[in-house]
Amino acid sequence: MSKPTEAPPVKLIFSIFAPAAEIVSHAIARLSVLYGQPDFVSAQIPFDYTDYYAPEMGPALVRRFLSMEKLIRPEALPDVKLATNAIEEESMRDGHRQVNIDPGYLSQAHLILATGKGYTHRPYLRDGIYADLTLIYQGKKFHALPWTYPDYADERQLAMLGAIRSRYLLQLKTAEPA
C-alpha cells in the first residue's frame, strides 16, 4: 500500500499574448500583484503558430512567457486559472478579449497547463478547470506529447522551459510554498 504524501511545491508560469506589448506588460503587472514578482520574463516574440485568435484579438499578436519567484501548491492551479480568466474578462472591449493568459506549472516531471476545456488527456480538477499534461521531462529535457500545442513543442520554448526548471530545482532545496 502506498502512503499519501504531500506533493512538492511547483513553479508557476504564464504565457501571455495580446495585440500590443503594453497590454502584455499590464497583464504582467497585474499577475505580479497577485503572485509576487517574476523571476523570468521572456523577450517579446510573435505569436504566429496559429490564427485561431485572429477573429477575436487581431492578426499580429505578441507574446511573453514568465515564471514567478514564489512557488505554489499544485492544487492552487484552478484558483490561478479563475483569476486569469477574471483579468481577461476585465480587459474585454466590445465583447472581445484584449489579452490571453495561460497559467500552468512546472514540476520535476512535467509541465501542466490549466484550461477550461476537457479532453481525453485533461483530467478534471475542480470549478470547471482541467489539467492539461503538456510536456513531460525525461532524459534531461522536456518532450512534447501527441497533443502538445506546436508553440510549446518548439525547441526554443523547450529550452526556455528547461532553464526555468533548472531554477525551480534550486528553489526546491530552500523555498517554502506560497
SS (H, E, C) 26-39: HHHHHHHHHHCCEE
Average pLDDT over residues 117-126: 93
Q: Is the pLDDT of residue 176 over 80?
A: no
- Round to whole Å and give the CA distance between 28 and 47: 17
pLDDT at 145: 96
pLDDT at 157: 95
Q: For 13-36, write each residue's pLDDT tens digit.
A: 999 999 999 999 999 999 999 999
pLDDT at 154: 94
Q: Contact at 8 Å (CB) between 66 and 13?
A: yes
Strands 129-138 and 124-126, bridge-based pairing: antiparallel
- Round to whole Å and give the CA distance between 78 and 125: 7
Mean pLDDT, the chain, whole residue set? 94
> pLDDT band at 50, cuts 50/70/90?
confident
pTM of this structure: 0.93
Strand, coil or helix: 127: coil
> pLDDT band at 136, cuts 50/70/90?
very high
pLDDT at 175: 62
CATH code, 10-171: 3.30.70
Please report, rounded to a whole number, the percentage of residues in the chain having pLDDT higher than 70. 98
Q: For 100-115, write each residue's pLDDT tens digit.
A: 999 999 999 999 999 9
Average pLDDT over residues 40-44: 96
Q: Which cell goes with 31? A: 499577475
Q: Is the pLDDT of residue 178 over 80?
A: no
* Alpha-helical segments (H) within the chain: 21-35, 54-57, 77-90, 150-153, 155-172
